[in-house]
């Protein structure tokens, strides 16, 4: 580790890795370093093993990496080749007495709607056609004023007044941590068209392997990464960033600093309010964050090859409305079996399961940990109770699961807050549908990158990293 770098990057998530790769690609003589408080790269695009079982720790699919995807094009231009496996069907929905396959293949999806919801077939076709029209109009630079005040679920309901189909397509709202009333209809239509044409993919080897590849690309081009090291303070003099102070007290100087860390912590804690105009501090304080949730990891000694890789149990398209009001009820559950996308992720003949859903950060006095976040006996006992309830729901689809469990770990919003150092364990950074901060800050040479600035999604954060890195490389040169 040197005493001075051209660029210091805080956070080895998608935004930080994207920035670093672009900087080192465009100018291999640059001296750049990433400080990451965790012991692995990736942020929410991560994974881990327990007793030989692999689990994804956050993201469970990536868009924009298909043939014409923006991330795919950027990776190709950077000389990065990586295998992505298409997820099809995107999700399988187990409702009360129905099973619905959400295919991205348009013909298969229409046949599935005809099979399960025949009365709504014509309206559904009209909905897809309207999404295509909206996409073409917006892509051509045109506006669609008749939809200015229409949310996405109301757009669906205009053509398909069916709560089950609304629940299926509410998936796109969940991707952004947005309540149905918050996602604009035009935006939702654009996402629908983009996803159905571009696909959703799973990185070969799992999410952690993809992040490891990005780290290795960065370091192979001259960048440095230091793990398990917190940059606890951003040093500022005369309204200009001059370096960081690490948790061990060591100070490292720099000409530029890019923060891929949580935006509220970056501005209010690591830098300090006193360095920023009051209106900027108030803006950061008032930024709305996306919700958090729980995630249950199960290693099971049974063959799960006949189940979908991605499925959901239950119907509740108002789940984020309830979460935002501090309510928590296991009315809906998302389940993932990564080895059914990539068989190499099996543990011998056994499989891992990841089950998750949104939940309030402060539920039951912070999950019985109290305001001091004491992860003592009450907290642990309550985690066991929630895990037991989740397992009972999964057993509606996977019979006999409980007796075959070899590994069981439940993450709560407090877990995500602790391990990822994100305010309130927010899953997707800043809420997409609000005014978001610029990459540049009132402090000279202090830049922001990632989901805190561009809103949710690994592709968005990674692309933003590429953009910021490219712009900074040009400034430095």
How many CB atoms within 10 Å of residue 83?
13
Average the pLDDT over 105-134 and give the result. 97
Among candidate residues 244, 293, 285, the one with its CA nearest the CA of residue 267 = 285
At 456, the pLDDT band (50, 70, 90 cuts) reads: confident
Average pLDDT along the chain: 96
The DSSP code sequence of 101-117 is EE-SSHHHHHHHHHHH-
DSSP, res 290: P
The DSSP code sequence of 7-30 is EEEE--SHHHHHHHHHHHHH-TT-
382-399: pLDDT as tens digits = 999 999 999 999 999 999
Can you give the pLDDT at residue 260? 97
> Which residues lie closer than 8 Å to 143 by C-beta, 6 or more apart?
137
At 457, the pLDDT band (50, 70, 90 cuts) reads: confident
Can you give the pLDDT at residue 308? 98
DSSP bridge pairs for 336: 310, 354
Q: Where do the CATH 3.50.50.60 domains begin and end in the chain?
A: 4-47+204-287+433-476
Distance CA(328)–CA(368), nearest Å, equals 14
Distance CA(446)–CA(309), nearest Å, equals 42
Average the pLDDT over 352-368 and give the result. 97
DSSP, res 450: S
Tokens found for residue 186? 């035009």
85-113: pLDDT as tens digits = 999 999 999 998 899 999 999 999 999 99
Average the pLDDT over 336-343 and give the result. 98
Q: What architecture (CATH level 2) is domain 4-47+204-287+433-476?
A: 3-Layer(bba) Sandwich (3.50)
At 467, the pLDDT band (50, 70, 90 cuts) reads: very high
How many CB atoms within 10 Å of residue 60?
21
The DSSP code sequence of 87-98 is -SSSEEEE-SS-
Among candidate residues 79, 472, 453, the one with its CA nearest the CA of residue 255 = 472
Average the pLDDT over 262-287 and give the result. 98
Task: Let me know the angle formed at the C-alpha of 113 by 331 and 176, rounded to the nearest 5 degrees.
Answer: 50
Q: N- to C-terminal Cα distance for the chain?
A: 23
Among candidate residues 314, 295, 303, 306, the one with its CA nearest the CA of residue 100 = 314
pLDDT above 90 as % of the chain:
97
Using CA atoms of 303, 306, 309, 312 in order, give the dihedral in degrees to the nearest 10: -110
Query: Contact at 8 Å (CB) between 443 and 236?
Result: yes
Distance CA(67)–CA(236), nearest Å, equals 44
Q: Where are the beta strands (DSSP E) in 306-412?
A: 310-313, 333-336, 351-359, 405-411
Can you give the pLDDT at residue 477? 85
Helix (H, G, I), strand (E, B) or coil at 390: helix
The tally of CA atoms less than 13 A away on the side-chain side of residue 425 is 25
Instruction: For residue 67, count CB atoms less than 10 angstroms from its CB and return exposed for 0-12, middle for 13-18, buried for 19 or more.
Output: exposed
Q: What b/e readout covers 144-183, taking b as 16+ CB neighbours within 10 angstroms?
A: eeebeebbbbebbbebbebbbbbbbbbbbbbbbbbbbebb
Query: Contact at 8 Å (CB) between 256 and 476?
Result: yes
Can you give the pLDDT at residue 180? 85
CA 396 centroid distance within chain: 27
Segment holding 245, helix H or strand E: strand 240-246
Q: Backbone dihedral region of 186: left (phi > 0), alpha (psi from -120 to 50 degrees) or beta?
A: alpha
156-208: pLDDT as tens digits = 999 999 999 999 999 999 999 999 889 999 999 999 999 999 999 999 999 99
Tokens found for residue 375? 């992860």
pLDDT above 70 as % of the chain:
100
Can you give the pLDDT at residue 82? 97
Q: Where are the beta strands (DSSP E) in 322-474?
A: 333-336, 351-359, 405-411, 446-448
Pairing state between β 53-56 and 47-50: antiparallel
């Amino acid at each position: 580790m040197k005493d001075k770098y051209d660029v210091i990057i805080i956070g080895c998530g998608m935004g930080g890795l994207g920035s670093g790769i672009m900087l080192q690609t465009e100018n291999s003589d640059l001296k750049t370093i990433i400080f990451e408080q965790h012991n692995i790269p990736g942020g929410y695009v991560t994974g881990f093993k327990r007793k030989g079982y692999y689990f994804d720790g956050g993201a469970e699919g990536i868009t924009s990496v298909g043939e014409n995807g923006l991330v795919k094009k950027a990776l190709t231009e950077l000389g990065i080749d990586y295998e992505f496996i298409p997820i099809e069907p995107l999700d399988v929905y187990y409702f009360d007495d129905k099973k619905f396959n959400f295919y991205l293949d348009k013909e298969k999806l229409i046949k599935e709607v005809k099979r399960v919801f025949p009365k709504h077939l014509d309206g559904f076709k009209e909905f897809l056609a309207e999404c295509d029209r909206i996409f073409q109009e917006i892509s051509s630079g045109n506006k669609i004023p008749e939809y200015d005040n229409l949310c996405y679920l109301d757009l669906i309901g205009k053509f398909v007044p069916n709560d089950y189909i609304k629940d299926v397509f509410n998936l796109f709202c969940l991707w952004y941590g947005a309540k149905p009333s918050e996602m604009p209809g035009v935006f939702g239509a654009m996402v629908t068209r983009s996803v159905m044409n571009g696909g959703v993919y799973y990185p070969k080897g799992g999410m952690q392997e993809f992040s490891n590849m990005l780290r290795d690309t960065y370091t192979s081009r001259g960048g440095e990464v230091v793990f398990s090291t917190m940059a606890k303070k951003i040093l500022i003099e005369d309204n200009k960033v001059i370096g960081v102070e690490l948790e061990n007290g060591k100070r490292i100087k720099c000409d530029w600093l890019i923060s891929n860390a949580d935006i509220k912590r970056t501005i209010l804690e690591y830098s300090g309010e006193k360095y920023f105009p009051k209106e900027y501090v108030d803006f950061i304080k008032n930024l709305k964050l996306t919700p958090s949730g729980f995630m249950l990891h199960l290693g099971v000694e049974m063959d799960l090859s006949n189940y979908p890789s991605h499925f959901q149990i239950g119907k509740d398209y108002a789940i984020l409305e309830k979460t935002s009001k501090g309510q928590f009820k296991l009315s809906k559950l998302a389940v993932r079996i990564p080895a059914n996308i990539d068989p190499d992720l099996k543990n011998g003949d056994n499989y891992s399961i990841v089950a998750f859903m949104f939940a309030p950060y402060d539920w039951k006095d912070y999950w019985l940990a109290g305001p001091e976040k004491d992860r003592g006996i009450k907290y642990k006992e309550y985690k066991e109770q929630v895990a037991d309830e989740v397992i009972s729901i999964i057993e509606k689809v996977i019979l006999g699961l409980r007796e075959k469990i070899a590994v069981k770990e439940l993450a709560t919003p407090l877990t995500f807050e602790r391990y990822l150092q994100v305010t309130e364990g927010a899953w997707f950074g800043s809420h997409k549908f609000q005014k978001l901060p610029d990459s540049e800050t009132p402090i000279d040479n202090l830049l922001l990158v990632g989901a805190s600035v561009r809103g949710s999604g690994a592709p968005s954060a990674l692309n933003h990293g590429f953009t910021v890195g490219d712009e900074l490389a040009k400034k430095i040169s």
